Amino acid sequence: MSTDPSPSPDTGYFEALYQSAPFGYLITDHEDLILRVNGTLLAWGGYEEHQLVGQPFRNLLTPGSQLLYETRHRPVLGLQGTANEMSLQLVTAAGPTLPVLINAASVLDERGNLSEVRIGVLDASSRVSYEQELRAAQRTAESLSARVAILQGASAAFATSDTEALIAQILASILEDALVAAAVCVALVNSAGELEVVAGTNPLDVLIREESNRVGNAVLQLERPVVVGRSDEDRKQYPLVTSALREARLHCVAVFPIMNDATPIGVTAAFFGRERSFTSSETEMVLSVARQASQGLTRMRAQDQLAYAALHDQLTGLANRAFVRESIALAVSSSANTFRPVSVMFIDLDGFKAVNDQLGHREGDAVLREVAKRLSASVRAADFVGRYGGDEFVVICHDTGERESAAIAARIHREIRLPYPEAEGFAVSASIGIAVHEASHEPTTVDGLIGAADAAMYESKRLGRDRTTQVLL
């Protein structure tokens, strides 16, 4: 008995099957650029096809997943030709992330070179129990090779970062993915010695701001991690933090120190929606990444300190001669552009030589530091104060003509005349020369302004000291 053969499915049938498959599917080339992507994956992510084709697949992943994809998935794929069940976080067009599992297989050309990679993507968001087991396995079975991979990736990322904020953001992203945290923030010790959040998300302002419950400071004092949850002891020791956790529907926060040797740099805090414990392997991984970050942060701060030292006087903290001349050049340029006047004061101390000669350099240095403070307090917020050398100082006053600069000089005279506890019995005053440059006059130069102000100062000396002489350029 014979039957008619069933008609063979045509190309359209297979295309429809590909587009509406119950899983995402895409093809990338040897450089990870997307060549094709099916409708299922586009729908999951909320993308249009033209938005993804030609883009690297790794760009669809969160920063932490990018690190896992580059350091674990792709090396395995290169060695074995397949890589299965890699858990990643996919970024959707709307912003939220989508947990996925990916399986990938390499396709080689006739010469044995990589031609393309075929990637199957499974939506893991509805597989809560499986995901929990997978995360538990990742936490409990963290291998040395995985930690090394994370550290290598972190080290490379930190080494190429050129700002503190970028280093902190990278640290927050790595730890958020590695710890599967609801949120991670990084707080650094600022110039006032206080912790300031600079990257990530901090659901609990009280964690950093509230003086009596500053967990971050406790962590830096202990130099070890602290986990605050909902236990009776936590409620007793950190009542505001535990209350804020409940309000934010979070179970606990784990705070880790960022140290450079024994010097506190800051803390990183990871927040969790459910009870969380840490293996010694996980804790060491976080502290190791934090140490990597601290090296980059220390490098950035050292560079900032060197840049500051190159432009500031070590004794008084004021701008040095090079910074003064650079600032005068900027003031002259601004005056020419805005058609507003600029005044430059050259100040020389009267009576300071006697202090230095009779009391010694230590007392003389103390007087110079006090003069710097008084000068800074006498001028306006927008004015610029610098030490030109020895007992000579310069003040730059933007948008300031003869009358305004004379008023500022009068305040300086009053402040400098006041007694100095470090030089009791010695009279110190100031001879001031002011060069006022009106924008409507002939153009001037840095040397022209400094020279005119210096000559005016010597005229004040000649006329009896402790006075001001003005010249108009």
pLDDT at residue 337 tops 80:
yes
46: left (phi over 0), alpha (psi -120 to 50) or beta: left
Spatial contact of 102 and 119, defined as CB atoms under 8 Å apart: yes
Q: In angstroms, what CA-CA distances link 422 with 114, 354, 376, 428?
A: 78, 13, 19, 12
Q: What is the pLDDT of residues 142-197, one digit of tens each?
A: 444 556 666 666 777 777 777 888 989 989 988 988 888 999 999 898 888 888 88
Q: What is the pLDDT of residues 399-430, one digit of tens each?
A: 999 999 999 999 999 999 999 998 999 999 99
Rounded CA separation 256/220 (Å): 8
Spatial contact of 405 and 387, defined as CB atoms under 8 Å apart: no
pLDDT at residue 34 tops 70:
yes
pLDDT value for 83: 94
> Given pLDDT bands bounded at 50, 70 and 90, which one contains residue 212?
very low
> Given pLDDT bands bounded at 50, 70 and 90, which one contains residue 137?
low
Lowest mean pLDDT among 127-131, 290-294, 459-463: 127-131
179: left (phi over 0), alpha (psi -120 to 50) or beta: alpha
Spatial contact of 32 and 57, defined as CB atoms under 8 Å apart: yes
pLDDT at residue 450 tops 70:
yes
Find tokens 């001037």 and name the residue: 444
Rounded CA separation 196/216 (Å): 10
Phi/psi for 12 (5° steps) reads: -60, -35
Q: What is the pLDDT of residues 50-83, one digit of tens each?
A: 999 999 999 999 999 999 999 999 999 999 999 9
Closest-CA residue to 86 (of 20, 31, 149, 29): 149
pTM over 0.75: no
Q: Which domains does the chain have, with CATH numbers?
A: 11-126 (3.30.450.20), 144-305 (3.30.450.40), 321-472 (3.30.70.270)
Q: In angstroms, what CA-CA distances link 238 with 196, 215, 440?
A: 19, 8, 65
Spatial contact of 142 and 80, defined as CB atoms under 8 Å apart: no
Lowest mean pLDDT among 104-108, 162-166, 223-227, 300-304: 300-304
pLDDT at residue 233 tops 90:
no
Rounded CA separation 374/371 (Å): 5
